[in-house]
Structure 1
Amino acid sequence: MLRYLVHKIPSVLGVTVVASMVAFALPRLAPGDPAVALVEGDADPATIEALRAEMGLDLPLWEQYLRWVGNLLQGDLGNSYLLNRPVSQLIGARMESTIELTVAATLLMIVVGLVFGILGGSRLTPWARTAVDAWNTFFIAVPAYLVGLLLILFFGIYNRVLPVSGEVAVLDDPNFGLQYLILPALALSLPAAATVSRLVQTSMLTNRGEDFVDLAVSKGVSPRRITTRHVARNSLGTAAVVVGLRIGDLLAGSLLIELIFARNGLGSLAVGAVQQRDYLLVQVLILFAVVIAILAQLASEITLAALDPRIRLG
C-alpha cells in the first residue's frame, strides 16, 4: 500500500500545480479591474494606477503567479482586496458552515446511495425494482438547486415542518442545528446519491453473472448471503470511486445550495468576491475546492486499492 501511495504523489502534485494555474487565470478572464471596483465614484487614472501598483497588479502575470504561489507555500494566503482582511480569516470564519453542509450531504449520499443501489441490485419483485429505477432516474435528471426549491416548497411552505432559511451551528445547538441542516443536506445529497445508487446497482447486476456467484449457488449458499457477502461486497469498489468523485461536486454544489437556503458559508463569500473582482480571495476559494476534490479522489482510490488487491499490485 505504501508503494501505491508513493506512485500517486507525482500525479497529485501535478494536478495541484495545474489547478493553481487555472485558479489564478480564471478570475483574470472576467471583465473588470479590482482597482476600479475599489474606488468610489470617478477616480483619475493616476489614482487607479497607484492602487494597482499597491496591489501588485501592475506586475507581469507570470510574476504575480509566482509571488502568489510562493506566499501559498509559506502559508500566506494574502489579503482580500475588498475587505482588507487576511483571506485565511475570511475563509476560516465561513468554513464551518460549508464543512457542516458538505459532511452531512456526503454521509447522506453514501447511506442513501448504497441502500438504494443494493436494493436495486438485489432480486426484488418487479414493482420494487421499478420504484428504485424511477427514484434514481428522477434525481439524476433534477439538479440540486431544483431539489432544494422543491424541498422548500413542500417542507417549508406547504407543511412548515423545517426552517428553510438561515442556520444554527450544529456544535453550538445540535437540536436546532440539525433542523436547519436537514433540507440543504438533502437537496445537495439526493442527486449525488442517485448516481451512486445507479452505478452500484449496475455493478451488482453485472457481478451476478460472474463465476463466483454460480459457484456459491452450486454450494447451496442462501440468496441473501450471496447478495450481501459476494455480490454487494464486490460492488463496493465502484461505490468508493464514485463517492470520491462526487465529493468535489458536493463541495462545489454547496455554494449554490447555501445561497438558496441563506446559509452564511463560503457560497456568499465567493459570490461577493467574484462581483468585486477580489482576485486573491477567488483564487484561494477555487484552489481550496480543487484540492479537496483531489484529496477525496485519492482517498477513494486508496479505499478501492484496499478492497481490491489487484489495483495496488498493478
Structure 2
Amino acid sequence: MLYYTLRRIPSAIVVLFLASIVIFFILRLVPGDPAVVLAGPDASPETVDAIRANLGLDQPLILQYLLWIGGVVTGDLGTSYILNASIGELMGEALANTAVLAGAAIILSLVFGGAVGIFLGVTRRKNTAALVGAVNSFAFAIPPYVVGLLLALVFSVQLGWLPSVGIGPGLDDPIGMLPFLVLPAVTLAIPTGATIARFLAVSMRQQRDEDFVVAATARGLRAGRLFRTHVLPNSLPPVLTIVGLQVANLLAGAILVEVIFAWPGVGQLILTSVQTRDYLLTQALLLLAVAVFITTQLLTDLADAAIDPRVRLRLAA
C-alpha cells in the first residue's frame, strides 16, 4: 500500500502542474481587465496602465506564470488585489465552510443512499421496489439548483422553519449554525445519495445472483448472515469508487448551492473572484479544486484496496 501511494505521487504532481498551466492561460482568455475593474470606469488610460504595472500584468505571460507557480510551491499565494486580503487566509476560511457543508452532505447521502440502495438490493416486493426506484430516479435526475430553490421556497419562505441565507454565527457556534446548514446540505445530499443508492442496488443484485451466493442459500445459510458476510461486503468496492467520484463532484455542486443559500464557501469565493477578474485568487481556487479531486481519487483507491483483497494483489504486482 505504501509503495502504491508513493508510486502515485509523481503522476499526481504532473497532473497538478499541467492543470496549473491550463488554468493560468485559460483565465487570460476571459474578457475583461483587472486593472480596469480596480481603476473604475472613469479612470484615465495612464491610471489603468499604472495599476496594471503595479499588479505585474504588463509582464510577459510566461514570467507571470513562473512567478505565480513559484509562489504556490513555496506556499506564498499572494494577495487578492480586489479583496485586498491574503489569498491563503481567504481560501482557508472558505475551505473550512465548504468542508462543513460537504461533510454534512456526504453523511446524509451515505445514510440515505445506503438505506435506499440496500432496500432495493434485497427486497422481493416488485411494486414497492418500483415505487422507491422511481422516487430515487427522480432525485437522481433533478438538478441541485432546482432542489435548493424548492426547499428554500417551502421550508423557509412558506413554512418559516429554517433560514435560507448565510451561515449564521459560523463555525464558532456549531449549534447555532446548524439550522443554516440543513437546507444546503440536504440540497447537495439528495442527488449524491440517489446516485449511491442506484449503484449499490445494482451491485447487490449482481452479487445476489452469483453462484457462491446461490450455493450458500442452497446449503441453508440464513439470509441475514448471507447478506452481512457475502452480499454486502462484495457489493461495496464498485460503490466505493462511485462515492469517491461523488465526493469530488460535490465541489462543482457546491458552487451553485453556496450561491443559492449565500453560504460563504469556496464556491461563493470562486464566483466572486471570476466576476471581479481576480486572477490570483481564481487561479489558486481552481488549482485547489484539482488537488482535492486528485486526493479524493487516491484515497478512494486506497480504501478500495483496504476492503478488496483482489485490488491489493493487483497493486502489489
Under a length normalisation based on structure 2, what TM-score does the superposition of the two structures give?
0.93
Q: Is the 2:251–2:267 Cα contact (8 Å) retained in structure 1? A: no
Q: Which residue of 1 aligns with 2:8?
A: 8
Contact 2:203 2:239 in 1 (8 A): no
1:203, CA displacement in angstroms?
Answer: 1.0
* Residue 197 (1) aligns with residue 208 (2): no
1:87-120 Cα offsets, whole Å, 9 max, x none, are 1122223333222111111111222111211111
Instruction: Indicate the residue corresponding to 1:80 in structure 2.
Output: 80
User: Is contact 2:108-2:193 (8 Å) kept?
Assistant: yes
For 2:145 and 2:271, the matched residues in 1 are separated by 16
Helix, strand or coil for the counterpart of 2:83?
Answer: coil
| CA distance, structure 1, for counterparts of residue 291 and residue 269 of structure 2 | 18
Q: Following the alignment from structure 1 to structure 2, what is the Cα–Cα distance between the partners of residues 42 and 96? A: 38
Provide the C-alpha distance between the structure 1 equivalents of 2:62 and 2:211, rounded to a whole number of angstroms: 57
Q: What does residue 181 of structure 1 align with?
A: 181
Looking at structure 1, the residues matched to 307 and 93 of structure 2 have their Cα atoms a distance apart, in angstroms, of: 38
* 2: CA distance, partners of 1:313 / 1:133: 36
Task: Quote the residue 1:240 is aligned against.
Answer: 240
Corresponding position of 2:93: 93
**C-alpha offsets along residues 66-86 of structure 1, whole Å, 9 cap, x if unaligned?**
211111111001111212221
Task: Please give the alpha-carbon distance, in whole angstroms, between the structure 1 residues aligned to 2:136 and 2:17.
Answer: 36
Structure 1 stretches lacking a partner, 5+ long: none
Q: Which residue number in structure 2 is paired with residue 161 of structure 1?
A: 161
Matching residue of 1:220: 220
What's 1:270 paired with? 270
User: Which whole-Å CA distance do the structure 1 matches of 2:126 and 2:177 have between them?
Assistant: 40
Q: Is the 8 A contact 2:113 2:194 kept in 1?
A: yes
Q: Which residue number in structure 2 is paired with residue 302 of structure 1?
A: 302
| Higher mean C-alpha deviation, range 75-84 or range 157-166 | 157-166
- In the alignment, is the contact (CA less than 8 A) between 2:71 and 2:78 conserved in 1? yes
User: Given that residues 258 and 265 in structure 1 are in contact (C-alpha distance below 8 angstroms), is that contact kept between their aligned partners in structure 2?
Assistant: yes
Structure 1 residue 294, shift from structure 2 partner:
1.3
Q: Deviations over 1:210-230 (max 9, x none)?
A: 122122112211122222321
Tell me if structure 2 keeps the 8 A contact 1:106–1:247: yes
Count of aligned residue pairs for this structure pair:
314
> Which residue is equivalent to 2:48?
48
Contact in 2 for aligned 1:135/1:194 (Cα 8 Å): no
Q: Secondary structure at the match of 2:85?
A: coil
Q: Tell me the amino acid that sits aligned with residue 36 of structure 2.
A: V
Q: Give 1:120's aligned amino acid.
A: L
The percentage of counterpart residues that share the same residue type is 45
Q: 2 CA distance for matches of 1:133 and 1:26?
A: 42
Partner of 1:289: 289
- Confirm or deny: 8 A CA contact 1:144 1:257 kept in the other structure: yes
User: What 5-or-longer segments of structure 2 have no aligned partner?
Assistant: none
Which of 275-284 and 116-125 deviates more? 116-125
The alpha-carbon distance between structure 1 residues 248 and 26, as it changes in their structure 2 partners (threshold 3 A), is: farther
Measure how far apart 1:191 and its partner are: 0.4
How far apart in 2 are the matches of 1:293 and 1:96? 16
Looking at structure 1, the residues matched to 107 and 61 of structure 2 have their Cα atoms a distance apart, in angstroms, of 41
Which is worse superposed, 3-12 or 278-287? 3-12
Shift of 1:30: 1.0
Partner amino acid, structure 1, of 2:98 = T
Partner of 1:70: 70
Runs (4+) off by over 6 Å: none
Q: Distance in 1 between matches of 2:230 and 2:135?
A: 25
SS in 2 for 1:29: coil
In 2: Cα distance, 1:218 partner to 1:260 partner: 54
Mapped partners of 1:190, 1:212: distance in 2: 34
Change (3 A) 1:160 1:11: same
In structure 1, distance between residues paired with 2:29 and 2:122: 50
Partner of 1:250: 250
**CA RMSD of superposed structures (Å):** 1.7
Q: What is the deviation of 1:170?
A: 6.2
Contact 1:97 1:169 (C-alpha < 8 Å) held by counterparts: no
